[in-house]
Amino acid sequence: MHQDSNLDKARKLDESALAAIHDEFYPHVYRYVRYRLEDEQVVEDIASEVFLRFLDALQNKRAEIRDARAWLMGTASNLIHDHLRRKYRRPTGDLEEIEILAGDDAPEHDVERNDTQQQVQAAVRKLTLEQQQVISMRFVLEYSIDETARIMRKTSGAVKVLQFRALAALRRLMESGDQR
């Protein structure tokens, strides 16, 4: 209810409502983007851009926003994916079909890192973009299956399947030690 009222006010460009929404969701967006990307500056830029897009969408009557968090996290995912696609110049398509899209991520940063945390993150970044997304939402932000499904615009069943595959793929990557 509180969020609805803030959303209504934000549509009228009420600065205090916009600030409230920003402050409530910025930590979620930032943590999510940071888990997915390495470059701190890019992380900050994308997290900030998400809210500028939100402002644009609020004024676009055709793009009605009902759930601010779902919209913000979905947009963050899209911006991350755009960034990664540009970075690797890979063809777009059905992300489910691209098994290892994000390989060779930031090689100069990952070299010689044997810290467990870095190894896991490096392995996560080798998953498909949607697998990374579900892993981040479910296990980093600890969103429920339903929340994750809403953000990813999938059914709960599809998210469960995706999550299962993501965990299995990650396990294989970690076992093979091929995180680079």
Partner 1 sequence: MSRIDPDVLNEILERSLLKLQAGQDIPSILKEFPEYREELGPLLETMRAIWSSRGSDTVPLDAMVRSRERLMKAARQAKQAARPSWWRRGTGLLRHAMAPAAAVLACVALLFSGIASAQALPGSALYPMKLAAEQVILALPASPSGQLARKQEYDERRKHEVEELIQLGSHEEVNLSGFLTRGEAGEWLADGLKIEFPADLAPKALELAGQFVLVHAELFDDGRMLAETIEPRVYQVAGRVQKLESGRLMIDDIWVQVGPATQLDGAIQAGRQVEASVTRLVDNTYLALKIELAGSPKPLGGPAKTETPTIREDQPETAETPDGQDIDKHDDADAGDDEQEDEQEHSASPTPRAAVTPTIRPPQSQPNPGLTPTSQDAQDDDEKSGDEEEDGEKDEDQKDGQSDDAKDGDKHDS
| Cα gap 125→178, rounded to integer Å | 11
Burial class (CB in 10 A: 0-12, 13-18, 19+), 38: middle
Q: Rounded to whole angstroms, how far apart are CA atoms 180 and 167?
A: 18
CA atoms within 13 A on the CB side of 162: 26
Site string for partner 1, 67-86 (x = CB under 8 A): ------------x--xx--x
d(CA 99, CA 177) in angstroms, rounded, equals: 17
The interface region with partner 1, picked from 65-73, 103-111, 119-127, 147-155 by CB under 8 A, is 119-127
Q: Which of 93, 104, 105 is nearest to 130 (CA)?
A: 93
Binding partner 1 by CB under 8 A: which of 24, 38, 45, 110?
45
Q: Which residue among 1, 2, 23, 93 contacts partner 1 (CB under 8 A)?
A: 23
| 152 binds partner 1, rule: CB under 8 A | no
Footprint of partner 1 (CB under 8 A): 9, 12-16, 18-19, 22-23, 26-27, 30-31, 34-35, 42, 44-49, 51-52, 55, 59, 79, 82-83, 86, 116-121, 124, 135, 138-140, 142, 145, 157, 160-161, 163-164, 167-168, 170-171, 174
